[in-house]
């Protein structure tokens, strides 16, 4: 397994932050609700940045451009993803698309996606690692660990040189 340089993340917080994105924009809610007119997302705060992750929610490609135009300044990146592996896999494979600024790297988007996937309880067994196939970037291999004292995730992410598509 060949990877590029590893990026270390010391804090990944979910803090029960969910939201809905629709034609009115992005708004946070106190509960994870599924409004028929919008798309639910989870916010993961990573090292001071905020990443909105739409995971296991089908957001059509044509809706993504509209949502991107409504992205508030408090969000640093938006990731749309879906699980490809089964819930018992040792390596969780997630296919994702990121809309991000230049100062938010693909490793941070992949790390946030892995934290949200775990937080949503998508697995029957805890994955050893996550492979986030992040379009338009190379795939990123992520390892996370929950720090119960800090109530946050920490981990590493690196471009996976063996999974170049």
Q: Residue-wise pLDDT tens for the chain (165 aa)? A: 677 789 999 988 887 667 889 888 888 876 555 566 789 999 999 999 999 999 988 898 888 888 988 999 999 999 999 999 999 999 999 999 998 877 889 999 999 999 999 988 889 999 999 999 988 778 999 999 998 888 889 999 998 877 655
Counting every residue written for the chain, the total comes to 165
151 vs 13: CA distance, rounded Å: 7
Map out the domains of the chain as residue ranges: 7-163
CA distance 74 to 60: 23
DSSP letter string over 73-112?
TT--EEEEEEE-S-TT-SEEEEEEEEEE-TTS-HHHHHHH
CATH class of 7-163: alpha beta
| Pair 134, 96: CB distance under 8 Å | yes
């Amino acid at each position: 397994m060949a990877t590029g340089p590893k990026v270390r993340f010391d804090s990944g917080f979910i803090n029960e932050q969910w939201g809905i994105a629709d034609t009115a924009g992005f708004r946070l809610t106190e509960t994870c609700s599924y409004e028929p007119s919008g798309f639910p997302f989870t916010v993961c705060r990573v090292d001071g940045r905020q990443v909105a992750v739409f995971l296991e929610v089908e957001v059509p490609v044509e809706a993504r451009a509209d949502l991107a135009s409504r992205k508030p300044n408090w969000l640093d990146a938006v990731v749309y993803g879906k699980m490809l592996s089964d819930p018992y896999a040792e390596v969780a494979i997630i296919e994702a698309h990121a809309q991000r600024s230049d100062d938010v790297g693909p490793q941070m988007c992949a790390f946030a996606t892995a934290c949200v996937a775990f937080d949503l309880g998508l697995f029957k067994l805890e994955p050893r690692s996550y492979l986030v196939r992040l379009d338009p970037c190379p795939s990123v291999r992520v390892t996370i660990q929950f720090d119960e004292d800090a109530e946050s995730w920490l981990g590493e992410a690196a471009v996976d040189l063996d999974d170049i598509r």
